[in-house]
Chains A and B, each alone.
Chain A
């Protein structure tokens, strides 16, 4: 199904769904407290965009392991084609999340924003995550892959691993008390990154074990 010609445009449009919905809901209620976004629409919008940012980020991290596992069963070939798009959508929602914080929540109060970034740990963590993701989005084109060369590009894009961890940490720290939802996200992230650790370990063992035999 992922190899179908129409699959890419369909996923592209579906991924715009959350943004379309929240925009409609905000505009139609005039950001007022009586609309579908509840009594505090600005908080709702900011959290909603953050939720989708972390979901896309974890989805991007899931593409490689899922397609590898599924290929063993001969299914879902072509899933890898979506990795770049999903990753870029993650960054897109990260940018929207940051913009809604700056423009709606803080209303461009740069002094307060700077204080938040330097003094409030979960915001510091969120900003570091944004800074890690920005170069990945900037180097996502074919031309940039060529310019950097495959090896360097791959090394650079490993930044997505710490970014995923920081995104989960940001979410966990933002919530008060010990809450379930951020723990679920962190657990998913741990599985996805754990897969890489295991794979890297196996690769090392294989190459290490192969040498004396040759």
Chain B
């Protein structure tokens, strides 16, 4: 009793609204707003454009001990893309080529247990259990723009750990000039791999300085929750100044090496997808104009920013490079 009283009198800490409560309240408000709109307009309630992004949390388990980072929604100054859109509209060809295929077909995918192989030019190579791999690091939330090469974009609150911290822990040697990433290759669990849409497994790569850039994140969650299967569970990459396909999903292997690694889309169509694939509105793509993008939820397109708006953070890495040739 005495202890309880003491706790109750601990005013400063009780004034801080726990995140779960805050998120629940938000969900409640969102649900209420949708229900209200539904009641007012019947089933044909138009959500309309420019309505505030509904930060509706989903149904996944909450991630504990996530700290805020300096990359917040406020610092970005843009609305979050609705949770539902983030989790039902994306490309993940391992589960089919349609935009809703991943959400529909990844429901049975079980990302547990998961191990991650670290190979090549590092002091501590090995196969790590994912939980052990993540444990030494502090999870943080980062609100980033996400720009797909197909000229649509989102703003997503990812949860993850800086890749740079992981690399430092692994102790890269002098030969670690590049990092090669690989997605799980298991057609039984990833039915989209039964068709040779791409050469499986999916491969991606970064130059070591790109991998070490403070923006580069290994993502294990979004909207404060465990990463949904369709978004690349249990662990994926996020490089917000590059087109979305660089952000490889369901990673099982990272290899540190001296040579630039082959990447899946580049192997599929080298004319269209370069190794770097930095967001660049002035490099003409054979398939889509990259000058503009449609933010999911908007009607009109908006101009695309150089390096997706992260020029300050990443521009210096490409100084002196001809980005028209090294696209």
Q: Which B residues, 41 to 58, have Cβ-Cβ distances below 8 Å to chain A?
A: 43-44, 46-49, 51
A131 at the binding interface (Cβ < 8 Å): no
Q: In the assembly, what is the distance between CA of A30 and CA of B37, in Å?
A: 13
Residues of A within 8 A of B48 (CB): 30, 32
Question: A42 touching B291 by the CB < 8 A rule?
Answer: no
Is the pair B47, A32 in contact by a Cβ cutoff of 8 Å?
yes
Contact of B300 among A28, A33, A34, A107 (CB under 8 A): A107
One digit per residue, 1 when the CB lies within 8 angstroms of any chain B CB and 0 when it does not, for chain A 93-127 equals 00000000000000100001001100111100000
Total CB contacts across the A-B interface at under 8 A: 82
Would B297 and A32 count as touching, CB distance under 8 A? yes
* A29-B284 contact, Cβ under 8 Å, with A38-B89, A40-B152, A42-B299: no
A residues within 8 A CB of B197?
177-179
> Cβ of B7 < 8 Å from any Cβ of A?
no
Across the interface, name the chain A residue whose C-beta is closest to B284.
Answer: A119
Q: How far is the CB of B274 from chain A (nearest CB, A)?
A: 15
* A28/B46 contact (C-beta < 8 A), A107-B300, A107-B301, A175-B97 known: yes
A177→B273 CA distance, assembly (Å): 12
Complex Cα gap A107–B289 (Å):
14
Interface residues in B253-272 by Cβ distance below 8 A to A read 265, 268-269
Does B283 sit within 8 A of A, measured CB to CB? no
Q: A80–B85 Cα gap in the complex (Å)?
A: 46
Whether B46 contacts A38 by the Cβ 8 Å rule is no
Decide yes or no whether A180 CB sits under 8 A from chain B: yes
Q: How distant is the Cα of A175 from the Cα of B97 in the complex, in angstroms?
A: 9
Does the CB pair B195–A30 fall under 8 Å? no
Q: Does B286 have its Cβ within 8 Å of any Cβ on chain A?
A: yes
CB pair B82–A112 under 8 Å, yes or no, is no
Least distance between B148 CB and chain A CB atoms (Å): 10
Query: B85, B196, B286, B292: which contacts A120 (Cβ < 8 A)?
Result: B286
Contact A177 B100 (CB under 8 A): no
**B288 in contact (CB, < 8 A):** yes
B84 an interface residue at 8 Å Cβ cutoff?
yes
Tell me if A39 is interfacial: C-beta within 8 Å of chain B.
Answer: yes
Expressed in whole angstroms, the Cα–Cα distance for A46 and B284 within the complex equals: 22
Q: C-beta contact mask, A18-57 vs B, less than 8 Å → 1, else 0?
A: 0000000000111111110011101100000000000000
Establish whether residues B47 and A178, one from each chain, have CB atoms under 8 Å apart when the complex forms. Answer: no
Given A38-B99, A178-B196, A29-B47 contact (CB < 8 Å): yes
Question: Given B100, B289, B291, B297, which contacts A33 in the complex, CB threshold below 8 Å?
Answer: B297
Question: Hey, which chain A residues are within 8 Å of B46, CB to CB?
Answer: 28-30, 32
Whole-angstrom distance from the CB of A110 to the nearest CB of chain B?
A: 13
B residues in contact with A43, CB < 8 Å: 99, 152, 294
CB distance from A166 to the nearest CB of B (A): 17
Chain A CB within 8 A of B213 CB: no
Residue in B closest to A106 when the chains form the complex, CB atoms: B301
Chain A contacts for B43, CB-based, 8 A: 28
Q: Does B134 contact A (CB under 8 A)?
A: no
A40, B89: Cβ atoms closer than 8 Å: yes
The 8 closest A-B pairs by CB, nearest first: A30-B46, A39-B89, A32-B47, A39-B85, A177-B197, A28-B44, A33-B297, A34-B47
Besides A38-B99, A39-B82, A178-B197, 18 more A-B contacts (Cβ < 8 Å) are A28-B43, A30-B47, A32-B48, A32-B49, A33-B82, A33-B89, A33-B296, A38-B100, A39-B84, A107-B301, A115-B289, A121-B286, A175-B97, A176-B97, A176-B287, A177-B93, A179-B97, A179-B197
